[in-house]
């Protein structure tokens, strides 16, 4: 049984300050692996233990279903079960399902579509545009951005120009397809993911009875990975809050990797100004990774340019020394994958569990060559995307078969036999795992379902013989599906960098570090390139102990030659490493010695890089107590910039 003191165990001074901060707005701004997620989990547990809050009144929003499941597990272990830890989508879906009859005139929630491609393709055809599947996908992504930013079809052109988007077609064309897509969707009576969030916010904004009930349920809010919140999610959060301020947010501007979908770290950065008097905590000690990994992560992010660069935080590794990261190059991708698979097998043979190893890449298509190589080497693997587990075709099929089995299976049949019988009927053979590709993935997913069944049977051993176990198991599956609580599948994780955020493994392979892949070919603007750099940073900081970075000179044997990723100059011996950008400036003393002058924020102590910050003596992420004169000067600078006039080079834009 967890004691209330457990929530305060193994926390450093700053983490403890965040955990024990009084009710009200709290903001933790900190780099990767510094214990942000740990701190918010402990904060919830601590407040539950002390009786300050009741578990069922807490809503913790995480970025992936896997992160939500992990948080629930940790809270349960800390003796604070019952907290709602969900993704925005899962929380919105639950709310809408409950209130559907009231919000949709007595009808059920419309069907949710998770892919826009088909309807977008139809809308494009109707608009007289010929496009292939890729074109439709790009259009769908652009529509997704607009909807996440709460932009209507009629507003699209202006908004896209303002956001300096590079749409796949002329903005007027995109607007037309967007409009057509919305009409087709309405006619078909379906909604997409952004509609889901909007409808949840709208349900509260427009219906005072719904607002009252939702707000009575959710009284304390926690948001992890807040740097990647988008406008529609923020709107829902505001609707939930309804002007209250018991909210804890954590984030790291250096890990903003979803701005292409409309996310913006502005929400995180301006939080202390939005909530004056918020408790702001900064963490700099990295508890996740060895100093070698931390050193490389710092080197990569220290080169960051642009608006977010000044918000980066230097990490200080706390863990004991480990192996140097392995930097490798290969003639082609199959050779790279074969070598990675061989190394995975070696690590497993030497005692690293397969689930503690991850292969991370920039684009999902890279997965295939690694799947084939791992299958060839006999290494079990899982393709990450657990959040879609219950939406997978074979799992849906299995659920239907299991429901049907309740009518045919006689009471008294052991659960295992009933379930394996149903899985057998849809073609799953436990001892015949296909070598690789989609069929292997399908097999692994069904294997996870079978494992879940055994786990469930184990837990319910106390039930009398003949009890309707299969019904109970089906109910458990339905509950998990609603909560998007997917079972863990064992094996080496194959994941895109985007889905790896927040997670950690003992050994990480960061592969395909070639120009054109990372940074991705279509990242042409300075902002887009910076986002690619942050992706590399996110990848590196997933490793606890052992890190491998590699690239293939050519994609296919004998193919066109590529250079190594610019963010890791050490991968490419021909590319000189740029000098690190250290905060502060050097001053020459009268006796000829050089001294580094480091000006720190007078509120939180962060080293100040920009001249404007140094002048103010505070960083723009800290709560401001600017005097009227400074305020008007800053605003004046903003106006001049908007008019594209020349401004002093040191001006920093703060959200005053």
> Rounded CA gap, 172 and 214, in Å?
39
- 124 annotated ligand binder: no
Q: Of 33-41, 283-291, 343-351, 472-480, which segment contacts Mg ion by CB under 5 A?
A: 33-41
654 binds Mg ion (CB under 5 A): no
Residue with tokens 């990675």: 340
Instruction: For strands 594-597 and 585-588, give the pairing.
Output: antiparallel
* Burial state string for 115-147 with b = 16 or more CB within 10 A and e = fewer than 16: ebeebbbbbbeebebebeeebbbbbbbbbbbbb
- Return the CA Rg of the chain: 26
Cβ 15 to Mg ion shortest distance, Å: 12
Distance, C-alpha 445 to centroid of its chain: 22
Binding flag, residue 339, Mg ion (CB under 5 A): no
Is residue 306 marked as binding?
Answer: no
- Please give the structure tokens belonging to residue 61: 């929003």
Minimum Å gap between C-beta 553 and Mg ion is 35
Q: Binds 38, which of ligand ATP, Mg ion, none (CB < 5 to 8 A, cut-off by type)?
A: ligand ATP
Give the nearer residue to ligand ATP in terms of CB position, either 95 or 318.
318
Q: How far is the CB of 175 from ligand ATP (least distance, A)?
A: 37
Q: Cβ of residue 502: shortest distance to Mg ion, in angstroms?
A: 4
Distance of CA 557 to the CA centre of its chain: 34
Looking at the Cβ atoms of 297 and 622, the one nearer to ligand ATP is 297
C-beta of 144 vs 530, nearer to ligand ATP: 530
Please, which residues have CB within 8 angstroms of residue 347's CB and are 6 or more apart in sequence?
357, 507, 546
Residues 645, 331: Cα–Cα separation, whole Å: 50
CB of residue 47 to ligand ATP, shortest distance in Å: 17
Alpha helices in 59-154 (DSSP H): 65-77, 88-103, 117-126, 133-148
CB of 501 to ligand ATP, least distance (A): 7
DSSP 3-state percent helix, strand, coil across the chain (nearest 5): 50, 15, 35
Residue 534 binding target from Mg ion, ligand ATP, none, CB below 5 to 8 Å by type = none
Tell whether 30 is in a known binding site. Answer: yes
Report the partner that residue 287 touches, choosing among ligand ATP, Mg ion, none (CB closer than 5 to 8 A by kind): ligand ATP
Closest CB to Mg ion among 64 and 555?
64
| Secondary element (H or E) of residue 550 | strand 543-554
Q: Which is nearer to ligand ATP, 34 or 499 (CB)?
A: 34
In angstroms, the CA 515 to CA 511 distance is 12
Compute how many residues bind Mg ion; rule: CB under 5 A.
3
State both tokens at 249: 């947010």
Q: Which of 15, 29, 30, 37 binds Mg ion (CB under 5 A)?
A: 37
32 assigned ligand-binding residue: yes
Task: Decide whether 248 or 397 has the Cβ nearer to ligand ATP.
Answer: 248
Chain residues 454-513 in contact with Mg ion, contact rule CB under 5 A: 502
Nearer to ligand ATP, 20 or 56 (CB): 20
Sheet holding 492-496, edge to edge: 326-332, 543-554, 505-510, 357-361, 492-496, 381-383
User: CA 299, CA 547: separation in Å to the nearest integer?
Assistant: 15
Closest CB 351 distance from ligand ATP, rounded Å: 19
- Binding residue per annotation — 33? yes
What is the b/e burial string over 168-201, where b = at least 16 CB atoms within 10 angstroms of the residue's CB? bbebebbbbbbbbbbebbeeeeebbbbbbbbbbb
Q: What is the contact surface with ligand ATP in residues (CB under 6 A)? A: 10-12, 15, 30, 32-38, 252, 255, 287-288, 502, 504, 541
35 is in an annotated binding site: yes
Binding-site ranges for Mg ion (CB under 5 A) = 36-37, 502
Binding residues for ATP: 30-37
Binding residues: 30-37
């Amino acid at each position: 049984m967890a004691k209330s003191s457990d929530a305060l165990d193994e926390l450093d001074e700053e983490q403890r300050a965040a955990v024990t901060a009084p009710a009200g707005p709290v903001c933790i701004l900190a780099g990767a692996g510094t214990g942000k997620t740990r701190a918010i989990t402990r904060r919830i547990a601590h407040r539950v233990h002390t009786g300050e809050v009741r578990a069922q009144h807490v809503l913790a929003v995480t970025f992936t279903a896997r992160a939500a499941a992990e948080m629930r597990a940790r809270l349960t272990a800390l003796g604070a079960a019952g907290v709602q830890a969900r993704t925005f989508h899962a929380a919105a879906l639950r709310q809408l399902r409950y209130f559907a009859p009231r919000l949709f005139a007595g009808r059920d929630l419309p069907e949710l579509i998770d892919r826009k491609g088909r309807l977008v393709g139809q809308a494009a055809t109707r608009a007289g545009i010929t496009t292939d599947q890729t074109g439709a996908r790009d259009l769908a992504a652009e529509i997704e951005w607009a909807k996440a930013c709460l932009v209507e079809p009629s507003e699209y052109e202006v908004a896209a120009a303002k956001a300096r988007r590079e749409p796949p077609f002329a903005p007027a064309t995109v607007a037309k397809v967007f409009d057509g897509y919305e009409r087709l969707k309405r006619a078909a009576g379906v909604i997409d993911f952004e509609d889901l969030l909007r409808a949840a916010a709208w349900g509260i904004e427009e219906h005072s009875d719904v607002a009252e009930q939702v707000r009575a349920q959710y009284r304390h809010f926690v948001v992890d990975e807040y740097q990647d919140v988008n406008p529609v999610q923020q709107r829902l959060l505001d609707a939930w809050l309804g002007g209250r301020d018991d909210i804890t947010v954590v984030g790291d501007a250096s890990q903003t990797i979803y701005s292409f979908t409309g996310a913006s770290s502005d929400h995180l950065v301006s939080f202390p100004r939005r909530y004056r008097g918020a408790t702001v905590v900064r963490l700099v000690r990295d508890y996740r990774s060895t100093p070698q990994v931390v050193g490389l992560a710092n080197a990569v992010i220290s080169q960051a340019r642009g608006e977010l660069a000044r918000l980066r935080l230097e990490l200080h590794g706390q863990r004991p020394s480990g192996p140097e990261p392995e930097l490798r190059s290969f003639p082609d991708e199959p050779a790279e994958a074969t070598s990675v698979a061989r190394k995975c097998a070696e690590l497993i043979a030497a005692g690293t569990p397969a689930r503690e190893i991850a292969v991370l890449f920039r684009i999902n298509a890279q997965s295939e060559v690694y799947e084939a190589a791992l299958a060839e080497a006999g290494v079990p693997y899982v393709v990450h995307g657990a959040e879609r587990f219950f939406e997978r075709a074979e799992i849906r099929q299995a659920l239907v078969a299991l429901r049907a089995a309740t009518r045919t299976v006689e009471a008294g049949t052991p659960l295992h036999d009933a379930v394996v019988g149903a899985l057998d009927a849809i073609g799953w053979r436990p001892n015949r795992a296909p070598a690789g590709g989609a069929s292997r993935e399908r097999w692994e997913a069904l294997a996870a379902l079978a494992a879940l069944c055994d786990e469930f049977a184990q837990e319910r051993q106390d039930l009398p013989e003949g009890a309707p176990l299969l019904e109970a198991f089906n109910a458990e599956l339905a509950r998990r599906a609603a909560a998007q609580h997917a079972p863990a599948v064992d094996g080496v994780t194959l994941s895109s960098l985007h889905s790896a955020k927040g997670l950690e493994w003992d050994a990480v392979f960061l592969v395909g570090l070639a120009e054109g892949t990372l940074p991705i070919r279509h990242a042409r603007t300075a902002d887009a390139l910076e986002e690619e750099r942050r992706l590399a940073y996110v990848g590196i900081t997933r490793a606890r102990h052992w890190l491998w970075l590699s690239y293939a000179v050519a994609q296919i044997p004998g193919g066109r030659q590529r250079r190594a990723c610019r963010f890791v100059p050490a991968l490419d011996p021909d590319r000189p490493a740029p000098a690190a950008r250290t905060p502060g400036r050097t001053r020459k003393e009268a006796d000829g010695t050089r001294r580094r002058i480091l000006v720190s924020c007078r509120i939180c102590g962060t080293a100040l890089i920009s001249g404007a910050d140094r002048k103010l003596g505070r960083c723009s992420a800290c709560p401001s107590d600017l005097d009227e004169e400074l305020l008007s000067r800053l605003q004046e600078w903003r106006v001049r910039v908007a008019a594209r006039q020349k401004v002093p080079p040191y001006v920093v834009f703060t959200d005053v």
